[in-house]
Amino acid sequence: MRAVNRSSLPVWIVTSIAAVGIVYWHASPKLAYADRDFTTGYVLLGLMVFLALYNGRKKLSMLPLGKASTWLTLHLAGGVLALVIFRLHVGSLWPIGLMHRALAALFYAVCISGVIGYGLQLWLSRRLAQAGNEIIFERIPAEIAAIRAQAEKAVLKAAEDSGNDTLGRDYLQSLAWYFAQPRFFWSCAMGGFGRRSENWLQRNLHTIGRYLSEAERAHLDELSRLGAEKRRVDVQYAMQSLLKRWTMFHVPLAAAMLTLAVWHLILVQVFAQ
């Protein structure tokens, strides 16, 4: 994913022109203070409502409301425009007054979480493509369960073939933990595609291998292959988790900010005229 691709260029050009136009308009001597504040305030609120509609668009995917990528571009451009208008509306980076500061703090929190989220999208989407073996997030538990079933089947087969349970006991003591669920989350998400996970697996397999018979060691290779497969699933899980979970901050913060903005609007309408 690129930050600005060719199809989104017109949107960014229009946004830039709008931002410059608004700054120029705001500096116009024809405007009084009150008119400036009221106008920028209402425009900003309208823009924030539009930005919030992006979340609704995802819930109404059955309706022909345009492509999600178009909405994302509009969401990003609108966010940048909102920052410009917010600065003009407030007149400074940090306003005065408890309510104003609370509102500004929420606005900045939403902006920062949005920037972080978009950054994650840009970065992790590339990493996901590099990692390969992309899996739908909701299917990952089934994938892990399937790998785990194959690993346990291999261990049972080793016991049958060799007539001893060394591999079985070692599996239960160490490898079962690894195959139970996604492990080494941050290594998989941020590091070198789960290198820590791979090191851990190889170290344990090597340790176990020293005590196995020849018949059992043949099945150890199968466990090694399944472990590598599990690690790739873990990488997918960690990255997709981050991509989904940053919205756990962004959306509630935006909801709180919009609520406080409506309260601000009420106070302004009632008291500031």
Partner 1 sequence: MSGGINSFRHDQTGYERPTLGWKCGRSANWNMPCKHGPSAGGVCGGQNACAPVRSGEAWQCRRPAADGGPCATGPGADGSCGSRRPPCVPRRTLAVWRGRLSILAIGAVLALVALLAHRTDRTSGAPTSLDPGPLSSAHSHFAGTALCATCHTAFGHGTTGWWQAFWSPAALMPAGKQDGDIAAHRLSAACTECHSFGGHELQPHNRIFEKRADLGPTDCLMCHTEHKGQLSQITTLSQTQCQTCHTRAIKDFATDHPPFPAKFPYDHTQAITFDHANHFNKYFSNPQMKDQVPPGGCVGCHVVGDGGRALQPAKFETTCANCHADSITKKDFILFRWPQLDDDIIKPDEIAKACGTPLPPPPDPSKPEPAFSAVSSDPLNLISAYLLNVSANKSAEYDKPVQDLARAMMKDGADPLVDAVKDRLSAGKVENLFAGLDGEQVRQAACIWAGNQEYSQPGQTSVAGWRADDLDLRYTHPSHADPVLKAWIEAIAAQPVPTNDDAAAARLIRARREMLSYTDGPGQCTKCHAVSGARGGPLTVSWQVQLGTPPAQTHFDHRPHLDLLGPEKTCTSCHRLADSVLSVENTGLKGIALSTCAECHAAGKVRDNCQTCHVYHQGHAFRKRMMQDAM
Residues that bind partner 1 (CB under 8 A): 27-35, 37, 58-59, 61, 95-100, 133-139, 141-149, 180-182, 229, 244-245, 247-248, 251-256, 259-260, 263, 266-267, 269-273
Q: For the chain, report the end-to-end CA distance as a whole number of angstroms.
A: 47
CB 35 to partner 1: min, Å: 8
CB 216 within 8 A of CB 158: yes
CB 81 to partner 1: min, Å: 23
> How far is residue 25 from each of residues 18, 50, 83, measured CA to CA in Å?
10, 22, 16
* The residue type at 14: V
CB 50 to partner 1: min, Å: 17
Closer to partner 1 by CB, 1 or 135: give it.
Answer: 135
Closer to partner 1 by CB, 11 or 156: give it.
Answer: 156
Closer to partner 1 by CB, 14 or 262: give it.
Answer: 262
Residues in the chain: 273
CB 272 to partner 1: min, Å: 7
Closer to partner 1 by CB, 106 or 155: give it.
Answer: 106
Tokens standing for residue 17 = 């022109």
Q: CB-side exposure of 132: number of CA atoms within 13 Å? A: 3
Q: Give the Cβ contact number of residue 163 at 10 Å.
A: 10
